[in-house]
Structure formats: C-alpha cells, structure tokens
Amino acid sequence: MQEQKSSFPFSMVERMMPWYPGIAVMGWAFVLIAFLLALFVLSPSQASFFSDAKAVREGAGVGSAFVNANFGSHVLEAWLPQLKFFGLGLGLLAIVMALGTIAKRLRSMGMVIFSQLPEKMRPAVPPPPKRIRLFQLSALMGIMVLMIVLIVGIILAVSVVSGYWNNSIVNDLNPAQPGSTLLSQLSVISSYAFWLNPLRMIGMAFLFTAITVALTVIIGTLRMQTKLLGGLVQKAG
Amino acid sequence: MNENTPYQLKLFPVLTILGWILISLALIIGLVILTPTAANYFGANSKEVRDAAEAGSVLLSQLGVLASIPLWLEPLIFLGVAFFICGIALEFSIIPSLVKQRGDVMSQAFPLIVKLGK
C-alpha cells in the first residue's frame, strides 16, 4: 500500500515535518538571545539613564550618555518583545510539526498492518483527512504573522523610535508643538503597541489552532484504526 | 458526534472558539479605541497642553481610557490563550484511552492478521 504524494507546497511542508527538533532549538535560541540582550544591554541602559536626578537626565543634550542610554533602551524595547514571541512561535511550530509527524507515522503504521492481509480481506483505508491541510496552513499563517510583527518592530525601532528618542527631553521633546515631526513620531510610538501586541497574539492563536487541529487528526486516526481492526475481528468472528 | 463521543471532544472546539473571540476582541479594541485615542492624545497636543488638562476635559478622559483599558485588556488576551491551552489539554487527555482501546483491539486482531497473512 503506497501513500499518495501531496502536491506542492504541502509536499515541501511534509518533508520539513521531521525537522522539529532543530526548529525547537532555534526558537529556544531566539528567546535566550532576547533574555541576554535584556540582561546585558536593556537593563544597564535603564540603570545608566536613571543614575542621576530627573533635571540632569532630562536636560542632557544629544550625544550625551543619558540620551544615548534612553535612546538605546527604547529602540531595543521596540523589537525585543517581538523577537521573544517569534522564538515562542517557533517552539509552538515545532510542536505542530512533531504532532504532524506522529499522525503520519500512525497512518503508515496502520497501512503496514493492513498490507499483511490478503487483498480481498483488506479494509479500504480512508484518504488522509482534509484537516491535515488546515493545521499545516494554520501553522504557516501563525509563524508568518509573528515574522511580520518582528519585521514591523524592527522597522519602527530603526525609524520612528530612534528618530524620536535621539533628542534631549527638555530641549527638544517637551517643547514639540502639534504638527511637528517629533509629535507625529510620538503619536506612532505611543499607539503602535495597542495593535501590534494583540496582532502577535493572533499569530500565537493560529499556532494554538494548528496544535488543536493536529491533535484531532491523531485522535481521528486512532479511532479509525480501532474501528477498522474491530471490524476485521468481528468479520472473522 | 454521537452520544459515545467523549466530553473532551465536544468541549475543545468551544474553548478554541472562545480563545479566538477574546484575542480578536483585544485586537479590535486596540485598533478601534486605543490606537486612535493614543495617536490623538500624544500627536495632537503638546506636553504643555497635556499637562495642563483640567478635570472633565477631553484630554483627561482620553488619558483615563489609555491608562485603564490596557489594564484589563492584557489579562483578557491571556484568558484567550488559557482557553486554547485548556482545549489542547482536553484533547491530550483522551489520547491514552484511545491508545489503550487500539491496543486491545490490536491484540485481538493480531493472531487473525498473522493467520490470514500466511
């Protein structure tokens, strides 16, 4: 009994399924990088900025250690959480891939067992469920959303966030008037997290859905095999 | 789904849908309420004007929205995530019994398969 090959791009997705240990390690590495950057860059920047009185740190001019520390921590805060969630997303993707591999092995194991029977006794093996495509697409969608969120975070960090925070708070930022570039940058900086954070959770939701659907495929395969084997026993009895 | 369907299989789709509803709701609130309010509050008013806002003013009510809604919106998102995780746990919980059932049937079918396969 030969399993029918899937069409492109699903054939590629199925070939990549057994790579899940590598994907899991990659996800873990991204989260580790996020932790190390927070520990060795973000935290010292914040400590350095808050090391003097409010009047001194906010009055510091462009190019000073205070402005640089404030600038560095804000730029990092714009993309670091997105990297962390991308790492978590890769971990969830690895789980989906592992479940997909289990479902595929269960199915081929069932086919091996039934292939031992004479052809006329062999039960008709149902085609692979359509839900396989659903969990593959859901997982791809989830990881793509998280990747887009990371790219948006990086773009915001290098454009608006770095443009705004590389200024003296007292001399440039506080006196900014409506219509100025600084205030329009502040408008973006203060609002993007309200849609970007839920959007990355939408990415996670796609990945959770992929896990849910992959589990239904495994459950369905186990139930189907129990039913087919039970039918065989009944027929023989 | 018939009467013999385990309760876990009946419940997990509801939990998954609830997870989607809560997370989508958070995105909609973020997009429709919080983003325009923050953009208007910070983008259309200088710091001097924002700091001088009086009780009952539009600026202070915008600030109230920006300070209060995110406090419950984030836990709402995580409640959505918890629904997903509960659904996944329920699905996992029926796998051991299914594997046992399949093993029992397999032990009955195995001698038969060996006999018929000869």
Q: Which of B35, B43, B87 lies at the smallest CB-CB distance from A194?
A: B35
- pLDDT exceeds cutoff 90 at A154: yes
Task: Quote the CA–CA distance of A195 and B36 in Å, as a whole number.
Answer: 10
Chain A contact present for B89, CB below 8 A: no
What's residue A163's pLDDT?
95
| Contact at CB, A209 and B84, closer than 8 angstroms | yes
| Contact at CB, A201 and B39, closer than 8 angstroms | no
Residue B35 in any domain: the answer is yes
Percent of chain A beyond pLDDT 70?
Answer: 96
Tally of domains within chain B? 1
Query: How far are the Cα atoms of A35, A54, A111, A114, A203 from residue A196, in angstroms, in the given order?
Result: 21, 31, 46, 50, 11
Greater model confidence, A158 or B117: A158
| Contact at CB, B77 and A201, closer than 8 angstroms | yes
pLDDT (mean) for A191-201: 96
Task: Quote the CA–CA distance of A167 and B117 in Å, as a whole number.
Answer: 81
Q: What is the pLDDT of residues A172-185, one digit of tens each?
A: 999 999 999 999 99
In the predicted model, what is the mean pLDDT of chain A? 92
In the predicted model, what is the mean pLDDT of chain B? 93
- pLDDT exceeds cutoff 90 at A115: no
> By C-alpha distance, which of A50, A104, A100, A40 is closest to A76?
A40
Q: Which domain holds residue B61?
A: 7-117
**Closest Cα of chain B to A113: distance in Å?**
8
| Contact at CB, B30 and A194, closer than 8 angstroms | yes
A-proximal residues of B, 32-71, CB under 8 Å: 34-36, 38-48, 70
Q: B3: pLDDT confidence band, cut at 50, 70 and 90?
A: low
Residue B106 in any domain: the answer is yes
pLDDT (mean) for A84-103: 96
Q: What is the pLDDT of residues B14-69, one digit of tens each?
A: 999 999 999 999 999 999 999 999 999 999 999 999 999 999 999 999 999 999 99
Q: A160: pLDDT confidence band, cut at 50, 70 and 90?
A: very high
Residue B1 in any domain: the answer is no
